[in-house]
């Protein structure tokens, strides 16, 4: 992996995600791109075209000043190389197009953590990007602080082959001290129960049973002090089932565990 893209709207949540990404880039020697998607100004149809052009020029200058300030602060703090990008258009479209243009291998974005609904939890733009992106999206909760990945948990729904996803996880989180937990959770009546299927070569495969999928996964994350939760995105599947629950905040350990979304 060589580079990641970090969109920002300059909010506290986005700034925290940028800080998280910068620490990640420093540890892994990555190029970091910070970008902002600008809104096309709305002007009266009868207004001269120069008005819209002037407004867009002003927006470009204002955005560049803020991007430069953010990049300067992160460079000073982490000592990494940061480049900036901006363009006009719909947020999710601009982010995905920019990632493709730059050949970024991941997109790091902030999450709101304020609701169990997927769009509200991730933020509508982050949710849209996660659903459409060809590269993984790391969704960083507003209170998350970067730490080395010692325990990466992959929530497996047992619906599809996962060889490609496991290869991606190994590439992103490779390291002698990183352990991958492949966790399959099934809901049933009764207390939490887990069975270790295998545990060798830095990979631990576990079957978990609990009163619900999200509660079983939550308890496993707590038990193993997980650093990040990886989930495969489906058109309608595991991630929607989890994020439509009232226990989403609990699942994310009070908004402290990032999501690695395929």
Domain ranges of the chain: 3-140, 151-261
Token representation of residue 37? 């998607």
Which among 36-50, 133-147, 156-170 has the top mean pLDDT?
133-147
CA distance 79 to 234: 37
**Is the pLDDT score of 20 beyond 90?**
yes
pLDDT at 21: 96
pLDDT at 128: 80
The domain made up of 151-261 is a member of CATH 3.10.129.10: no
Token representation of residue 196? 């270790």
**Is the pLDDT score of 236 beyond 80?**
no
Q: Which CATH number fits domain 3-140: 3.40.50.620, 3.40.640.10, 3.30.9.10, 3.40.50.2000?
A: 3.40.50.620
CA distance 193 to 210: 6
Q: Which of 37, 32, 23 is nearest to 2 (CA)?
A: 32
**3-140 against 151-261: fold identical:** yes
Model confidence over 138-154: pLDDT tens digits?
989 888 889 888 999 99
């Amino acid at each position: 992996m060589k580079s990641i893209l970090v969109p920002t709207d300059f909010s506290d949540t986005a700034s925290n995600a940028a800080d998280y990404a910068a620490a990640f880039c420093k540890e892994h020697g990555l190029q970091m791109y910070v970008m902002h998607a600008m809104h096309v100004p709305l002007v009266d149809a009868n207004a001269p075209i120069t008005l819209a052009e002037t407004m867009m020029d002003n927006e470009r200058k204002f955005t560049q000043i803020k991007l430069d300030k953010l990049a300067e602060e992160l460079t000073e703090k982490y000592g990494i190389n940061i480049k900036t990008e901006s363009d006009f258009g719909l947020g999710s479209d601009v982010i995905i197009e920019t990632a493709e243009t730059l050949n970024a291998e991941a997109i790091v974005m902030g999450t709101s953590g304020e609701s169990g609904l997927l769009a509200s939890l991730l933020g509508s733009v982050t949710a849209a990007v996660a659903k459409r992106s060809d590269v993984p999206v790391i969704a960083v909760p507003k209170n998350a602080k970067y730490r080395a990945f010692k325990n990466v948990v992959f929530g497996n729904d047992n619906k599809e082959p996962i060889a490609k996803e496991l290869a991606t996880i190994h590439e992103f989180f490779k390291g002698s001290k990183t352990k991958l937990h492949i966790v399959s959770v099934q809901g049933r009546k009764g207390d939490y129960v887990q069975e270790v299927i295998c545990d060798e070569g830095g990979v631990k495969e576990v079957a978990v049973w609990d009163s619900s999928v999200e509660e079983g996964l939550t308890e496993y994350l707590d038990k193993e002090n997980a650093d990040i939760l990886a989930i495969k995105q489906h058109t309608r599947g595991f991630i929607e089932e989890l994020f439509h629950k009232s226990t989403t905040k609990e699942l994310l350990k009070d908004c402290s565990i990032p999501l690695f979304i395929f």
